[in-house]
Amino acid sequence: MSPRTKEQVEEIRQRSRQQILKASLELFAHQGFHNTTISQIAKKAGVSKGLIYNYFSSKEDLVGGIIEEAMETGEEIMTTIKDQELDPWVAVDQSIDHIFILVQQNPVYWKMLTSLSFQEDILMKFEPLLRKQEFKNLEHLTDLVRRLGAKKPLMEAMYLSALLDGILLHYLHFKDKYPLEEMKEFLKAKTREIGK
């Protein structure tokens, strides 16, 4: 008889919103943004087409929602590492672990993101958001390799960055057939050469 409480409403909203975001993410990642229809998302999320527009103002806005959410989660993991003062070799290993964990936890997100980075129309709208992140990461890497005694820290960091993205790329394509763990250890071993 009486209307739902604010809390009930908010919970319902969050559940629907999550379902929609999850479905969008998966479809965008596998089919690409422009090849995914709202109807597909609605069906996969188990809601009506109309409901999607109760939570997101447009198809593009879904991308924004996905990125925002992933960044929040990513931020959390990041901070746990950053605060600690560490031996540089340990820090490098931890950073590598961190990146691999991030990717392994949510490979679909990274697939979507990489895919999106080739869609210039969409990219344009979210570039500021993403570039900042990118820059922070490169800065972090540069700092790390400098502490390892690299002679050309920036080059070394860019090299490492390309390597990580390359591994990510291959992992995203081959999925479980890719020896990600082995690659990680191989990579860690390689970093031992830096500064020598």
Partner DNA sequence: CATGAATGAGCATTCATTCAT
Partner DNA sequence: CATGAATGAATGCTCATTCAT
Least distance to DNA, CB of residue 130, Å: 21
Residue 36 gets which letter from DSSP? Answer: -
DSSP states of 54-87 as a string?
Answer: HH-SSHHHHHHHHHHHHHHHHHHHHHHHHTS---
> What is the sign of the dihedral through the CA atoms of 161, 162, 166 and 169?
positive
When asked if residue 80 is in the footprint of DNA (CB under 7 A), the reply is no
State which residue, 43 or 140, has the beta carbon closest to DNA: 43
Question: Closer to DNA at the Cβ: 11 or 185?
Answer: 11
Residue 159 contact among a second copy, DNA, none, beta carbon within 5 to 8 Å by kind: a second copy
Residue 114 Cβ, how far from DNA at the closest point, in Å? 20
Query: In this structure, what token pair is assigned to residue 70?
Result: 């992933």
**Closer to a second copy by Cβ: residue 19 or 119:** 119
- Of the candidate residues 49, 132, 151, 192, the single one contacting DNA (CB under 7 A): 49
Angle between helices 153-174 and 88-105 (to 10 degrees): 30
Stretch that binds DNA, among 58-66, 76-84, 132-140, 183-191 (CB under 7 A): 58-66
The least CB distance from residue 113 to a second copy, in Å, is 10
Q: Which residues lie below 8 Å from residue 65, measured CB to CB, with a gap of 6+?
A: 17, 21, 24, 55, 56
- Specify the residue, 15 or 152, whose C-beta has the smaller distance to a second copy: 152
